Amino acid sequence: MTIKLVMLFNIAICLAMGTALLAAWWRDRSQAFLRMIGLAFLAHVGLPLGWVVMTAGGEPARLAGLAILLATGLASVGLIALGVAYLAHRPVPAKRLPVMALALAAIGLVLLPLGERAMFGSVATLQLAVALTAAWLLWPQGGAERLAALLLLLLTLNHFQYPLIGPEVAARQAVVGSLLRLALGLTLLHAAVRRSAQESQRTRDRLGHLTEHSHQGVAVVRGEHLLYANPALLRIYGLNSLTEVHTLWRDATMPESERQGARERHRQLISGEMSQASWSGLRYRFDGTPIRLRFTAWRIDWDGQPAEQVVVTDETAQHDATAALLHQATHDELTGAPNRSALQARLRELCAARAGFALLLLDVDRFALFNEAHGPSVGDAVLRALAGALATALQGRAEVMRLGEDEFALLAPGDAPDRAAQHVAQAVRELLAQPLPLPGHEFYLDASIGVVLHPVHGRDPEALLRAANAAMHEAKHTPGTSLQYAEQRFEHGSGLSLLAEQALRAGLRNEEFSLVYQPKVDGRSGALLGFEALARWDRPGIGRVGPHEFIPAAERTGLIVPLGRLILAQACSQTATWHAEFGRGVPVAVNVSPLELLDPAFPDDVARLLRRHGVPPGLLSLEITESAAVAHIGALRGRLAALRALGIEVALDDFGIGFSSLNMLRSLPLHAVKIDRSLIEPMPAPDATAIVQAICAIAQTLKLEVVAEGIESQAQAEAVLAAGCTVMQGNLHARPLAPEEAGRWLARSLGAPLRVLRNP
Ligand code: C2E
Ligand code: CA
Ligand code: CA
């Protein structure tokens, strides 16, 4: 009865402890010793079973029981040996296991016939060897391991009771064994728990060490709260500790436009809709300094609840370096102004956006000579001063860029590029009229300026730059600071002239064309002798454009005919108005294109117009260019005669550049020649004066009136007068005037002829 209870107690303890050890191993597989010793405990259940079988009676039962006891004892010894090896961190290599098993089986076969006491004695001796080895291995580890070794030794010694004393101690041995086993099991569990704790602490320490010393910022975020921030993160944001943060983290560090997106991203990460996210952007340190950060984030469990872990890399330095490189690549070293590649980028951008702009290329006149005279360092100072002065003068109006050496680009975006160009040019003229602000020097500079307008002169950056450059070189021919618009008017090429045609048609339909009137005066008295009507086009979104920009396109597309009629009608209507107002008038000259004159109906149409508006024919005159007359002399002769017969006078325009022969001059029914501006410009230079003198002499012989065009200075006026020409037209006397202003001129001249007429 007693022995049976003892056996049950033994079985219960072995089962309980074995299961507990295995369960502990199941939780933490790294502790393999738990499995081996747990299995040894379970195997030990075989001992009381074997005992029961052995003592059941009869020789076969005795032998079977002995075999069970022997097998159990050996298996237990083997498993404990393996467990101890693990516990001592010296696991037995897997390939040795079969050898071990074979050895134990062989020992079992040898021991089986020896009888139970000898057999138990041998197994106990084997256990003793294992226990002593365990003690030797585990002793240095101290703590629970040392206690386990001690308990194992005691357990082994306990096993010697039976072989040494005899079956009468079996019950005592079993009770002591059970208690020792219980203690051993608990000790091992304790060791396992301690090892687990140590291991996870070590892992935590390692991870903590990694984040605490990381150069990357690490943060844990939940909702609006920062739950954790490593030192690097605090450093990146300019903080000493998280306690310094008194506002919501996102509000303090993020541009407002990104906050909503960030909250949404956080929600998706936390909910698992998104497993990982990477982004980068502008953030602010707590002192307000902008920084550039790159982020990677994913979801983690933090204190049992989902949170977002963010790893932050500070890329401010790289960003700044890239920006500096970019600045270097797009800016001029000497003046700090944007350079040619910056201009090209801007032009591409504006052209792509179809935005209107004026581009003025400004080249300093004779800068090479200046450099030679004063040395390159003064030259550099001049360029720096010029760049600075241009930037100041044009601030808010145009971007100033330096393209190289003494060449600058002034870019004025805007819907009315023509006006923008005029404003910029005016500002530059005013600037260059003053000495450059250079300490210790007083330098005046002249510059030649080429102007292009987008989209009037072209639509792609290359074409615009070429045209501006050509215009600038053209401007170089004029001494002093001078401005030249690009030559190209509408883009050539099939598709684009279609575009010009559309625009012209719309302009005609919407009455966007009007006339301005430039006075012709007597150079001696200043008396008003007549007006020249000059066409203007007020293009919506572009501004006022001059005839150079649309007459050629109108001629190319044939629209010059309706446009010319419109202009004639406007001039007639205006003349009629003045005639009605003052009772008298001065002739108004209208420019006509040769294509209009080639139309046989032209003289009749003009006559009809005059009649309709009630304009005396003597008040209308026409101007045709010399080159047109040369090209179409045959057809023109009859037409001019018809006009002449109507009482309408015709002047040969732009005379002196179109190779007309004296014979042609004589044979055409003309009343005047207008000397081209390019011949007047170099006056009073002696050779230019001589040419004008010769033209005046010929005109006198042929009984033609002579008009000098483009008079800009008093010196030119005096030289022209001395050369024999009295009728003058030019900005010196008056720029082309709006009809009301021209009306005031007319009123003054008809009232009392003014002595000296000057540009008002
Ligand atoms: P144009 O007949 O030789 O007209 C004189 C041009 O010289 C005008 O330019 C006038 O503004 C400009 N001008 C006058 N005084 C000065 C001066 O002192 N300095 C300078 N630099 N320029 C001065 P605009 O108005 O641009 O006309 C250019 C040309 O366009 C005209 O040259 C004429 O050939 C043509 N044009 C103008 N209106 C019409 C028109 O209604 N029909 C036709 N078919 N052609 C026109
Ligand atoms: Ca003219
Ligand atoms: Ca002319």
Q: Which amino acid, residue 150?
A: L
Nearest to 467 by CA among 487, 449, 490, 493: 487
CA distances from 554 to 18, 496, 551, 606, 623 (A): 107, 13, 5, 20, 17
**Structural domains in the chain, sorted by start:** 3-207 (1.20.1070), 214-319 (3.30.450.20), 335-493 (3.30.70.270), 513-750 (3.20.20.450)
d(CA 712, CA 482): 12
Q: In this predicted structure, what is the pLDDT of residue 321?
A: 86
- Residue closest via CA to ligand 1's atom 6 equals 710
d(CA 348, CA 689): 47
Residue 552 confidence (pLDDT) above 60:
yes
Residue 533 CA to ligand 1 centre (angstroms): 9
Q: In this predicted structure, what is the pLDDT of residue 753?
A: 43
At residue 226, the 3 state secondary structure works out as: strand
Q: Which atom of ligand 1 is nearest to the CA of 729?
A: 15
Q: What is the mean pLDDT of residues 315-322?
A: 88
Q: Which atom of ligand 1 is nearest to the CA of 515?
A: 41
Give Cβ neighbours of residue 614 (< 8 Å, ≥ 6 apart). 576, 579
Residue 379 CA to ligand 3 centre (angstroms): 40
Q: Write the DSSP string, 627-665.
A: HHHHHTHHHHHHHHHHHHHHT-EEEEEEETSS---HHHH
Q: In this predicted structure, what is the pLDDT of residue 213?
A: 86
Cβ proximity of 757 and 527 under 8 Å: yes
Residue 372 CB-density burial (10 A; 0-12 exposed, 13-18 middle, 19+ buried) = exposed
What is the bridge-based pairing of β-strands 399-404 and 482-485?
unpaired
- Residue closest via CA to ligand 1's atom 22 equals 710
What is the pLDDT confidence band of residue 491, given thresholds at 50, 70 and 90? very low
- 83-134 pLDDT, tens digit per residue, is 999 989 999 999 999 999 999 999 999 988 888 888 889 999 999 999 999 9
Q: Write the DSSP string, 261-316.
A: HHHHHHHHHHHTS-SEEEEEEEEE-TTS-EEEEEEEEEEEEETTEEEEEEEEEE-H
Residue % of the chain over a pLDDT of 90: 57
Nearest to 337 by CA among 407, 272, 397: 407
Q: In this predicted structure, what is the pLDDT of residue 18?
A: 95
What is the pLDDT confidence band of residue 237, given thresholds at 50, 70 and 90? very high
Residue 448 bridge partners (DSSP): 363, 482
Structure tokens at 277: 């996210």
Residue 701 CA to ligand 1 centre (angstroms): 27
Q: In this predicted structure, what is the pLDDT of residue 395?
A: 94
d(CA 307, CA 324): 38
Structure tokens at 665: 């001059």
Phi, psi of 731 (to 5 degrees): -65, -20
Q: Which amino acid, residue 266?
A: H
Residue 323 CB-density burial (10 A; 0-12 exposed, 13-18 middle, 19+ buried) = exposed
Nearest bound ligand to CA 711?
Answer: 1
Residue 356 CB-density burial (10 A; 0-12 exposed, 13-18 middle, 19+ buried) = buried
Residue 547 CA to ligand 3 centre (angstroms): 12
Q: Which atom of ligand 1 is nearest to the CA of 736?
A: 11
The pick from 591, 683, 707 for probing ligand 1's pocket by mutation, whose C-beta has the most ligand atoms within 8 angstroms, reads 591
Q: What is the mean pLDDT of residues 681-698?
A: 89
Residue 459 CA to ligand 1 centre (angstroms): 25
Q: In this predicted structure, what is the pLDDT of residue 128?
A: 95
Residue 518 confidence (pLDDT) above 70:
yes
Nearest to 520 by CA among 718, 748, 727, 720: 727
Residue 57 CB-density burial (10 A; 0-12 exposed, 13-18 middle, 19+ buried) = exposed
Residue 395 CA to ligand 1 centre (angstroms): 32
Q: In this predicted structure, what is the pLDDT of residue 1?
A: 52
Nearest bound ligand to CA 537?
Answer: 1
Structure tokens at 331: 């800016």
**158 or 1, which is more confident:** 158
Q: In this predicted structure, what is the pLDDT of residue 48?
A: 85
Nearest bound ligand to CA 651?
Answer: 2
Nearest bound ligand to CA 626?
Answer: 3
Q: Which amino acid, residue 199?
A: E
- 606-638 pLDDT, tens digit per residue, is 999 999 999 999 999 999 988 777 777 777 888
Q: Which atom of ligand 1 is nearest to the CA of 674?
A: 3
Give the HSE-up count for residue 31: Cα atoms under 13 Å, Cβ half-sphere. Answer: 24
Nearest bound ligand to CA 589?
Answer: 2
Give Cβ neighbours of residue 576 (< 8 Å, ≥ 6 apart). 613, 614, 615
Residue 623 bridge partners (DSSP): 591, 651
Residue 675 CA to ligand 3 centre (angstroms): 7
The pick from 478, 515, 518, 534 for probing ligand 1's pocket by mutation, whose C-beta has the most ligand atoms within 8 angstroms, reads 534
Residue % of the chain over a pLDDT of 70: 96
E strands present in 584-738: 588-591, 620-625, 649-655, 672-675, 705-709, 727-729
Query: DSSP character for 737?
Result: B
- Residue closest via CA to ligand 1's atom 46 equals 591
Cβ proximity of 568 and 589 under 8 Å: no
- Residue closest via CA to ligand 1's atom 35 equals 547
Residue 492 confidence (pLDDT) above 60:
no
What is the pLDDT confidence band of residue 275, given thresholds at 50, 70 and 90? very high
Structure tokens at 668: 């055409």
Q: In this predicted structure, what is the pLDDT of residue 665?
A: 79
- For the chain, how many residues are written? 760
d(CA 521, CA 729): 6
Q: In this predicted structure, what is the pLDDT of residue 754?
A: 39
Ligand 1 shell residues, CB under 6 Å: 518, 534-535, 546-548, 551, 567, 591-593, 623, 653-654, 677, 709-712, 729-731, 736
What is the pLDDT confidence band of residue 760, given thresholds at 50, 70 and 90? very low
Residue 324 confidence (pLDDT) above 60:
yes
d(CA 136, CA 123): 20
Residue 351 CA to ligand 3 centre (angstroms): 34
What is the pLDDT confidence band of residue 489, given thresholds at 50, 70 and 90? very low
d(CA 320, CA 393): 31
pTM of the model: 0.44
Cβ proximity of 558 and 595 under 8 Å: yes
What is the bridge-based pairing of β-strands 543-545 and 705-709?
unpaired
Residue 701 CA to ligand 3 centre (angstroms): 22
**652 or 441, which is more confident:** 652
Q: In this predicted structure, what is the pLDDT of residue 170?
A: 84
Cα torsion 403, 408, 413, 416: sign: negative
Q: In this predicted structure, what is the pLDDT of residue 330?
A: 87
- 331-382 pLDDT, tens digit per residue, is 999 999 999 989 999 999 999 888 899 999 999 988 888 888 888 888 999 9
Phi, psi of 661 (to 5 degrees): -90, 155
Q: In this predicted structure, what is the pLDDT of residue 660?
A: 65
Q: Which atom of ligand 1 is nearest to the CA of 546?
A: 26
- Residue closest via CA to ligand 1's atom 45 equals 591
Q: Which atom of ligand 1 is nearest to the CA of 712?
A: 18
Nearest bound ligand to CA 518?
Answer: 1
Residue 536 CA to ligand 3 centre (angstroms): 16
Tracing tokens 């307000």 back to the chain, one arrives at: 288
- 566-594 pLDDT, tens digit per residue, is 999 999 999 999 999 888 889 999 999 88
Cβ proximity of 217 and 312 under 8 Å: yes
Q: In this predicted structure, what is the pLDDT of residue 541?
A: 77
d(CA 563, CA 227): 77
